[in-house]
Structure 1
Amino acid sequence: MNKKLKLKIHESLSAVIPITLIVLALGMTVVPMELSTLMLFLAGAALLILGMGFFTLGADMAMMPIGEQVGTQLTRSKRLWLIVAACFVIGMIITVAEPDLQVLARQTPAVPDRVLIFTVAAGVGFFLVVSFLRILFGWNLSWLLIGFYIVVFALAAFVPDAFLAVAFDSGGVTTGPITVPFIMALGLGLTAVRGDKNAESDSFGLVALCSIGPILSVLILGMIYNPEGAGYTPLSIPDIASTRELWLEFGHALPDYAKEVLLALAPILAFFVVFQVFFLKLRRKALVKILVGMLYTLVGLTLFLTGVNVGFMPAGNYIGKQLAELPYNWVLVPLGMLIGYYIVKAEPAVLVLNKQVEEITGGAISQKVMMAGLSIGMSVSLGLSMVRVLTGVSLLWFLVPGYALALGLSFLVPKIFTAIAFDSGGVASGPMTATFLLPFAMGACEAVGGNILTDAFGIVAMVAMTPLITIQIIGLVYQFKTRRAPAAAEVHAVQDEEIIEFGVSAGEDAT
């Protein structure tokens, strides 16, 4: 086996094992699982591990280089109209290709899937243009975020409650395993030719702004479509009686997801081919590496999506429903926090973000620190989401103060932490959230008799919000330590000087 692939699979194994053990522990104690659900989950976990390994290697070999090369070439062209048009088209293409969005669209009633998908794609395309203009003209990210979120929450007042959660969830699921590596690499390419002191921090923030586009566009869509009366169809768990039936369940789904991923990657590959012919003109060796990377990405995402949709989605729904039916269903809150802490480690795009943050900051912000911040943020968001499921409290009671705090912190921390934090919010809410945590919340909400559209939906939005705060708090700690270090060094220098002077005077007295 390829050494790099083996390493990636080992990394994904360490990421998936904790959440697998938690589910197994729950299945053997408070929520005994049917054998068919358990078999589906374990097989899904195996596919998840292999899929993440292939995907992350493919992202390193293909998605990141393509995005970086395209970004660099666009900046060098110095044709503003070409850059704007290309950014809009890129945003549309990668959004339509995003598997997470397909999952959300299928679970959202009252709005046709294609209408929702292309509405979200238009929002991402527009905000990718805004992101490039920010980099080009040096616009302040904090003020842009404040301005756009004021518009978001102003529009939210005119949208039906049943559509509000869907709108905020769409901002989270859009930035998934295909979108994040490409957009982040595009940011690197766009800033690579600048070389000024702000280039490093400006390479982040694209995901943050692109997450706003879907929220705004879907809020506008919510004024047109009325989701009232839309029905929720409970998730059915197939009855598996043998290993043959288990194989058939995954075998029937695998070609469908392979086709879905192939159709998703095809526009990206076609766009790259056009750029290669007219602008890039990369050598054969580099082209072969990118094509092999695309193949790894195809295989990885196919295995990953098959695993989470067929194996993890039924398990999440079942566990949520069983926990909510317990006499002490308040246990949903602490168990949700525990699941949230570990499940973020299994998000493929999180690994990509953490690695890039460590590389660009020269290790000042390590992967370990990033993962700790994301895990704590995910844990808090799951706890609050379970409170919403049990009580029916409006999503806005959490989002408005949460975003107000996050935007306020953006003026107190270094710029790069703000950009990384808002990027992290989009990255944390990936396919694991859409295919395990959302069904988990739906199952719990169904059991307590809540409103699925208003109480279960919104969990993605919560997951996307809390990292904005936790990562910036890390930034505050970092800033405090860096300011304290010179002062401490100065104190030590004075102390050393005093010790030397004392030693000299003591020697003179002795003579």
Structure 2
Amino acid sequence: MNKILREKIQEALSSVLPITLIVLVLSMTITPMPVGTLVLFLAGAVLLIVGMAFFSLGTDVSMTPMGEGIGAQLPKTKNLAVVIAITLLIGILITIAEPDLQVLAGQVPSISNSMLIWTVAVGVGLFFVLALLRTIFKIRLSLLLILFYIAVFIFSAFVPNEFVSVAFDSGGVTTGPITVPFIMALGVGLASIRGDSDAQDDSFGLVALCSIGPVLAVLLLGIFYSGGDAGYTQIAVPELEDTRQVAAEFVHALPDYIREVVSALLPVIAFCAIFQLIFKRFHKIQLQKIGIGFLYTFVGLALFLTGVNVGFMPAGHYLGQQLALSGKSWILIPLGMLIGYFLVTAEPAVHVLNRQVETITNGGISQRAMMLSLSIGVACSVGLAMMRVLTGISIYYILIPGYLIALTLTFFVPKIFTGIAFDSGGVASGPMTTTFLLPFSMGACEALGGNVLTDAFGIVAMVAMTPLLTIQTLGLLYRFKQKDMPQETLAADDEDSIIVLEGDT
């Protein structure tokens, strides 16, 4: 276990170090940063590295086997109504457990946190049921995506512009470090029961559909809710004079995030306990490992959230503000792209997805190729988001063409790439986006005198969109590569994939 933990720490270090170096270089050149804010950021980076390592280890040991076990067990239940009820409950519980959702809810004070959270949770739960039924009944993912994204853009025409960005952002924040490992593993479990040639392709796509549910739910809330105009809470950058005050910031915040993680994980653990009591899926040694894994997950997530919220949020806001005021505001675009390129590597759920993809495809799609595609996609999305901050153009001019291209590509790429691409969109927009890129965008928008709700919000939605294009482009390249391969090699690869799936059962 110690060896594995060291590997996880090295992985986390390689993910966090680039963005840390970028911020250090900026603080010593273009945007001199107060020493207190810089020390706060560096301390947050340390917590981020340790937290990511423990969280990654914990999900491997607990969330993944538990999700796969539940996914494999559900189709064996003959009563479809029971399966639907259990799936709906899982979707609601893991969404309420998602820490990113709390951050988003706090940005819209005109709507109570509980109303927004429950609206989003029900949206995820209903579409989780839809994702389950799609896997069981072998419904083509691209058809559902086209149908529901058309519905999303139709509904968005009837809500205030301020609500549109919040709705699209909600689709990104709900697929974070709690939700993704569980849903991805459950998809693998469902596919392992089927065992047919298309099962591998259909193991992906659950996250994609679960990302649409909250968008539709919040848009419907915007149509019928009359609680007032949407607003946001400005981020306060603390003025710190010495390292004692820096330490005090983390010490005061840590108990709050511990309570948040406890309230997030307890419903999931309770559900897993009830599942085990009913179905007796795991033996004693497996349960002990899963229990230790949940402990690692708890420690890692508490440290991670404390690090990003206390250390990264003020630094992101300050950098965006100072770059906008530097007299060379155009520099926001290339620097935003550079930050986005490296920031996605620090998203904990991204590593979960990449490992899952490499395993399911039997190495056909490597973690390195996935990470490169995601990094390029997020870099492009942050560049476009900074362009919106500078020009104030509507988010529709980017989202509508982007999704049209992404949905068109679904007809030309292998089915598995469609599922992976749309899953990747939700996964890339995690805690690092909401606690660094969103404050970065808000700080720049405030400094330029723009409308924060229409020009800065929506960056989460854009981060969730561009991986759909880059991953499916990777799928096109993969298809062309297959055409050049001998038929014997392709047949052998197909057999290997089937063996992997059969081994999981």
TM-score class, shorter-chain normalisation, is over 0.9
For 1:6-155, list aligned pairs within 5 A. 6-155=6-155
1:110 to partner: Cα distance = 1.4
Deviation at 1:229, TM superposition (A): 5.0
Shift of 1:328: 1.3
Name whichever of 51-60 and 68-77 sits farther off: 68-77
Q: Over residues 142-186 of structure 1, what are the superposed CA-to-partner deviations in whole Å (9 max), with x where a residue is unaligned?
A: 001000001000001101001000000000000000000000001
The separation in 2 between residues aligned to 1:480 and 1:303, in whole angstroms, is 44
Asked if the contact 2:36–2:243 (Cα under 8 Å) also holds between the matched residues in 1, the reply is: no
Provide Cα deviations, 1:403-452, integer angstroms capped at 9, x if missing partner: 00000000000000000000000000000000000000000000011111
Matched with 1:325 is 325
Identity of aligned residues (%): 63
Q: Find the aligned partners of 2:233 and 2:124 in 1 and give their Cα distance.
A: 29
Structure 2 residue aligned with 1:306: 306
Deviations 1:42-62 (A, max 9, x none): 000000000000000000000
Aligned residue runs from structure 1 range 39-438, under 5 A: 39-226=39-226, 229-438=229-438
What letter is aligned with 2:145? L
Aligned counterpart, 1:466? 466
Displacement of 1:192 after TM fit? 1.0
- Deviates further, 207-216 or 219-228: 219-228
**Contact 1:160–1:226 at 8 Å: present in 2 too?**
no
Does the CA contact (< 8 Å) of 2:31 and 2:322 recur in 1?
A: yes
Letter in 1 for 2:374: L
Structure 1 position 82, deviation (Å): 1.0
Check conservation: 1:73, 1:280, Cα contact below 8 A: no
User: What is the rounded CA distance, in whole Å, between the counterparts of 1:323 and 1:245 in structure 2?
Assistant: 26
What TM-score do you get using the length of structure 1 for normalisation? Answer: 0.94
Aligned residue type for 2:289: K
Q: Measure, in 2, the Cα distance between the counterparts of 1:358 and 1:483.
A: 21
1:32 and 1:226 mapped to 2: Cα distance? Answer: 44
Paired residue for 1:492? none
Name the SS of the counterpart of 1:107 in structure 2.
Answer: coil
> How much has 1:226 moved relative to structure 2?
5.0
Is the contact made by 1:110 and 1:226 (CA closer than 8 Å) also made in structure 2? no
- Tell me, which stretches of 5 or more residues in structure 1 are unaligned? 490-511
* C-alpha distance in 2 between matches for 1:453 and 1:170: 14
Which residue of 2 is the match for residue 446 of structure 1?
446
Cα distance, 1:77 vs structure 2: 1.4
Q: Which residue of 1 aligns with 2:494?
A: none
The answer (yes or no) to whether the contact 1:91–1:125 under 8 Å persists in 2 is yes
Does the 8 A contact of 1:357 with 1:367 survive in 2?
yes
* Deviation of 1:108 (Å): 2.1
1:104, 1:340 → 2: CA distance? 20
Gaps of 5+ in 2: 490-505
Give the letter aligned to residue 211 of structure 2.
Answer: S
Q: Following TM superposition, by how much is the alpha carbon of 1:225 offset from its aligned partner in structure 2, in angstroms? A: 3.0
Give the Cα separation in 1 of the matches to 2:34 and 2:225.
Answer: 39
How far apart in 1 are the matches of 2:233 and 2:94?
Answer: 29
Contact 1:377 1:467 in 2 (8 A): yes
The structural deviation recorded for 1:240 is 1.8
Secondary structure (helix, strand or coil) at the match of 1:223 reads helix
Query: Following the alignment from structure 1 to structure 2, what is the Cα–Cα distance between the partners of residues 215 and 342?
Result: 27
Deviation at 1:231, TM superposition (A): 4.5
Question: Which of the two has higher C-alpha Rg?
Answer: 1
**1-side partners of 2:142 and 2:200: how far apart?**
16
Distance 2:307 2:460 in 1: 20
- Which consecutive aligned stretches of 4+ in structure 1 deviate over 6 angstroms post-superposition? none
Give the secondary-structure state (helix, strand or coil) at the position aligned to 2:204. Answer: coil
Aligned residue pairs total 489
Report the AA paired with residue 339 of structure 1: I
TM-score by length of 2: 0.95
Amino acid at match of 1:62: S
1:249-305: CA deviation from partner (whole Å, max 9, x where unpaired)? 100100110010011000000001101111034211111100100000000000000
Aligned amino acid, residue 61 of structure 2: M
**Cα shift at 1:399:** 0.4
User: Match of 1:139, SS?
Assistant: coil
Aligned-pair distance for 1:78? 2.5
Change (3 A) 1:487 1:130: closer
C-alpha distance in structure 2 between counterparts of 1:378 and 1:226, whole Å: 35
| Distance in 2 separating the partners of 1:287 and 1:40 | 38
Other structure's SS at 1:175 match? coil
* 2:425 match: secondary structure: helix
Calculate the aligned-residue CA RMSD, in Å.
1.3
User: Is the Cα–Cα contact under 8 Å of residues 69 and 280 in structure 1 kept in the other structure?
Assistant: no
Residue aligning to 1:493: none
Distance 1:169 1:240 in 2: 32
